[in-house]
């Protein structure tokens, strides 16, 4: 479940866009994972040029009353982001722990990302990979499929 969360967070960072030539699309989600003992609020901005994603900036805030849960999530997220960066590049992140919450800031630079290799594992995005770039509409679809509201 935690690896799925990491993948969803990272992909969420990729999927925020609109139909303008240049601009930013914001995607948000709040989810109460009561059985797992935490709540997550996610805000991502997809920056695009000529309908292709150039960068994703995001923040996830995970809150839990259980210190063990926070520590486990911090370890899993750190490991997951390190692995993604090692495999595909382009991922810069910072995780801060404050009391009963984790604050994760992430930036994904699509100019530094091995995009073709990354997208090969995400069938939903393969139709949106054009000219060695990712169309913003694919990322929006991906985020919305994951429960995000994009505008």
Asked whether 9 and 104 are in contact (CB, 8 A), the reply is yes
Mind listing the pLDDT tens digit for each residue in 84-112? 999 999 999 999 999 899 999 999 999 99
**What's the CATH number where 67 sits?**
3.30.1830.10
Domain residue limits at 140: 2-150
pLDDT of 15: 44
Q: Sheet containing 38-49: which strands, arranged edge to edge?
A: 91-98, 101-109, 52-63, 38-49, 22-33, 149-150
pLDDT average, residue stretch 9-26: 62
Residue 17 has pLDDT above 50, yes or no: no
94 compared with 121, residue with greater pLDDT? 94
Q: How many domains does the chain have?
A: 1
Mind listing the pLDDT tens digit for each residue in 134-143? 999 999 999 9
pLDDT class for 121, splitting at 50, 70, 90? confident
Q: Which residue has the tokens 């990354």?
A: 118
pLDDT of 19: 46
How many residues are listed for the chain in this entry?
151
């Amino acid at each position: 479940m935690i690896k799925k969360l990491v993948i969803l967070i990272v992909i969420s960072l990729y999927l925020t866009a609109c139909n303008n030539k240049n601009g930013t699309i914001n995607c948000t989600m709040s989810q109460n994972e009561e059985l797992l003992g935490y709540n997550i609020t996610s805000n991502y901005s997809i920056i695009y040029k000529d309908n292709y994603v150039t960068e994703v900036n995001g923040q996830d805030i995970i809150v839990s009353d259980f210190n063990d849960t926070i520590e486990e999530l911090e370890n899993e997220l750190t490991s997951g982001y390190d692995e993604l960066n090692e495999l595909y590049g382009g991922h810069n992140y910072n995780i801060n722990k404050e009391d009963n919450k984790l604050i994760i800031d992430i930036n994904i630079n699509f100019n530094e990302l091995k995009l073709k290799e990354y997208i090969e594992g995400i069938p939903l995005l393969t139709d949106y990979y054009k000219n060695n770039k990712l169309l913003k509409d694919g990322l929006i679809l991906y985020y919305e499929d994951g429960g995000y509201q994009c505008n």
